[in-house]
Structure 1
C-alpha cells in the first residue's frame, strides 16, 4: 500500500469509530507495524489533521474534521452503488428515489477516471419479489422516529384480529417480503414489531415519548439480544 493511501486509510479508520483506536488495531487492519502507525499519525498531526491521543491509549479524530467528497476509493464507490441498488429495489418509494439521487450526486462529483465504477459496477443485487405494499406513510414514520413522537395505529395481526395501539417507533426494518416497524407498545408494555402492510390506519401524534430516540433504540437492541440469547439449561 502506498504511504499516501495508508495515511488516508488511517483517517478513515478513525473517522468511523466513536472510541479511541489503538495503534495496534490500526496496524492489524493495515497489515503494518505499530511503529509505522505511530510515525504516520505523527505526520498527520504535523499536517494539522485534528487527531488526539497517544501511544497505549488510542487515537480519536475530531468530529469537525472533513475531507472533500472526491476522496473516494473504487471500493467505497462500489459499496455505495451496492447499497443504493438494494435500497432502490427494496426500499419504500421515497427511499428508492433517494438512492437513485445519491448515485447521481456521486457521479457528478467523482473524477472522470472513477465514473466507470458507477456506470458499470462489478457488483449487483439479486432480483427479488416485491414486498407487500405499505399501508402507512414510511416517510412520516422516519420523521417521527427522528423526532421521538408517538403514533396511534389500528393493527391487524396474523390471525386477523384488530387492535388499537399507541407506539413509540424505534426503527424500520426492510426485509425481502415485508417491511417492519419496531416500536415500544404502550398496550403490551414491551417492544413489538408491526408489519407495515397490516396497519389499517395511523394517526401521527404531536406527543413526544419520555426518552431520547437513541436511548430507546439502545433499549430495543438490548431487549432483542435478550430474546435471542439461548435459555440456560436447568441445573
Structure 2
C-alpha cells in the first residue's frame, strides 16, 4: 500500500469513530506501527485535516470534514491520467486543450509522491482516428450546457439531406465518430446525429422548453426501442 492510500484509509478509519480513539487502536486497525500512525496523523493535520487529540488521549476527526480532492489512490491516479490522455487526443481542440491543462494543474499541486505516480503512469492511449467532422464540437457542447437549440443540415446514411432544429442534451464520443443526442423538432422524437454528417451548424440563443436532465432521463428510458434516423 502506498503512503497516499494509507492516509486515505486513516481518514476513513477516523470517520468510523465518533468518539476519541487511541493511537494504539488506530494503529491496530491500520496494521501499522504506532510511530507510523503518529507520523501519518501529523501529516494529515499539516494538510488541514481537523484531527483533534494527542498521544495518550486519543484522536477524533471533527464532523463535516471533506476529504481534500487532491488525495488520490494509485488507481484513481491511473484513471485520471488515462482519461485525460484520451480526451487530449480527441479532435475537439478546445476539449483536448482543456484536458491537457487540467492534468498539468493537478500535477502542479499534488504531493511529490503522487506527482511521481502521475508522471510515471504506464497506461497509454493509442493514436486517434482521423477527425472527419467539419463542425466545431465546442459549439455543440456549449449549446448542451446552456440548453439552447441548434440548427443544421443533416445527411443520412443514404446521402439524403434535411434541415433540422434540435434540442441537444448529450454528446457521445466513439473511437471514430462523435454523436449528438437530441430531441428533433422535425421528427418530434429523440434522434442520434453523427457529427460527420452535420453541415452548416448554427448556434441559436433560443432556449429549448425542456430541462436537459429531463430529456436525458426520458431518452435513457427509450434506448431499448428501435428508432430511425
For residues 91-113 of structure 1, what are the alpha-carbon distances to aligned partners after superposition, in whole Å with 9 as ceiling and x for unaligned?
51111111111111111000112
1:145-224 matches, cutoff 5 A: 145-224=144-223
Q: What TM-score do you get using the length of structure 2 for normalisation?
A: 0.72
Structure 1 residues 7 and 184, CA, compared in 2 at 3 Å: closer, same or farther? farther
Name the residue aligned to 1:48: 62
| RMSD, aligned α-carbons | 2.7
Structure 1 residues 4 and 97, CA, compared in 2 at 3 Å: closer, same or farther? closer
Structure 1: unaligned runs, 5 residues or longer: 11-35, 51-64, 229-235
Structure number with greater Rg is 2
Name the residue aligned to 1:57: none
1:100-139 matches, cutoff 5 A: 100-132=100-132, 134-139=133-138
- Alpha-carbon offset, residue 159 of structure 1: 0.8
Q: For 1:218 and 1:103, locate their aligned partners in 2 and report how far apart those are by CA, in whole Å.
A: 31
Structure 2: unaligned runs, 5 residues or longer: 21-50, 52-59
Contact 1:90 1:130 in 2 (8 A): no
Contact 1:81 1:118 in 2 (8 A): yes
Matched residue pairs, number? 186
The runs of 4+ residues in structure 1 deviating greater than 6 Å are: none
Q: For 2:143 and 2:130, locate their aligned partners in 1 and report how far apart those are by CA, in whole Å.
A: 25
